[in-house]
Amino acid sequence: MLTISLADLMLVYGLILFSLVLMRLNRVGGEAGLFKASLRMVVQLLTAGYLLHLLFELHRPLPIILVLLVMFFFAVVTVGSRVEQRLPQFYRVVGSAMLIGCGSGTFYLVYIVLGLSPWYEPRYLIPLTGMILGNAMTGAALAAERLAGEMASRQAEIETLLCFGASPRQACHSAIRAAFRAALIPAINAMAAMGVVFLPGMMTGQILAGTAPILAVKYQIAIMCVITGSVALTTSLILLRGYRGYFTAAEQLRRDLLKKAA
């Protein structure tokens, strides 16, 4: 297997410096942001790599569970940082939805499909959970922000439907549908382009590591199916719980929350 030394990493990092030079020459601005992001990427990935090396040597479930909880916590926090228009009880709604959606997706893949044994094997459990969480973050952020925006922009429509006897769920149907479609767009686009426009990172990494191409393809198909299912379940839970926060117990629209979201 081909290896990458520290000198090789320094050599390839030169492309970041090259990008900074191009940004400066074209006076586009943002050089500091790119430089900081690149350094953060290097530090975080190297730290994660050494941490995973240590975890792979452990044979106890408790450290693995703690790592998964930390991953989940930072995933929810990251979603919150991406969203400008927040739903009522944002972290409770998004956190519970991601826990159920990503947890069930991970369980389905590693225990039912792959039959992982022991159940806490970190070499498989941690990377696969990370991929599912990472994609669910994008879907969750899109669903939450789009629903907040749709509720604000459709206020008159929703109140009219309520006046005609519609339930809150019926009045919000168009907003929920638009948010759900938006949340699934990245997953749909990724699946449509795989194998033709680009080769996915997981599949490419396995091939570079010596895995037979057809086996790498099977793993990629499996993970993409689970990712799509997890994103769909996570976003559905966010939308089904999220819209309720805009209504009182008497099924009246809370305009004060819409003004904050608008």
- In a shared domain, residues 120 and 40: no
Which of these three, 57, 77, 94, is where a domain ends?
A: 57
Q: Are residues 127 and 212 in the same domain?
A: yes
Domain check: are 28 and 149 in the same one? no
Six-digit token pair at 41?
């990427």
Task: Output the pLDDT for position 179.
Answer: 94
Same structural domain, 51 and 72: no
pLDDT at 93 over 80: yes
Question: Which of residues 11, 42, 57 is at a domain's end?
Answer: 57
Mean pLDDT, rounded, for 120-146: 92
pLDDT at residue 77 above 50? yes
Q: Which domain holds residue 248?
A: 61-261
Q: What is the per-residue pLDDT for 166?
A: 92
Residue 202 has pLDDT above 80, yes or no: no
Band of pLDDT at residue 129, cut at 50, 70 and 90:
very high
* Total of domains in the chain: 2
259 pLDDT above the threshold of 70: no
Which residues have C-beta within 8 Å of that of residue 114, sequence separation ≥ 6? 124, 222
* 119 plus 211 within the same structural domain: yes
Domain boundary among 42, 57, 72: 57
Residue 200 reports pLDDT greater than 80? no
Q: In terms of domains, do 75 and 200 share one? A: yes
- Residues 98-102, mean pLDDT to the nearest whole number: 95
89 and 37 housed in the same domain? no
Q: What confidence tens digit (pLDDT) does each residue in 145-168 have?
A: 999 999 988 999 999 999 999 999
Q: What is the mean pLDDT of the chain?
A: 89
What's the residue count for the chain? 262
Does residue 40 sit in the same domain as residue 106? no
| pTM for this prediction | 0.83
Residues 145 and 213 in one domain: yes
User: Do 104 and 35 lie in a common domain?
Assistant: no
Q: Rounded mean pLDDT of 7-36?
A: 90
Q: How do residues 227-240 score in pLDDT, each as one tens digit?
A: 999 999 999 999 99
* Same domain assignment for residues 127 and 22: no
Alpha carbon distance 14, 51 (integer Å):
26
Residues 155 and 239 in one domain: yes
What pLDDT does residue 1 have?
A: 61
Burial 170-205 (b: 16+ CB within 10 A, else e): ebbeebbebbbebbbeebeebeeebeeeeebebbee
Highest mean pLDDT out of 14-28, 45-59, 228-242, 248-262? 228-242
Confidence of residue 76 (pLDDT cuts 50, 70, 90): very high
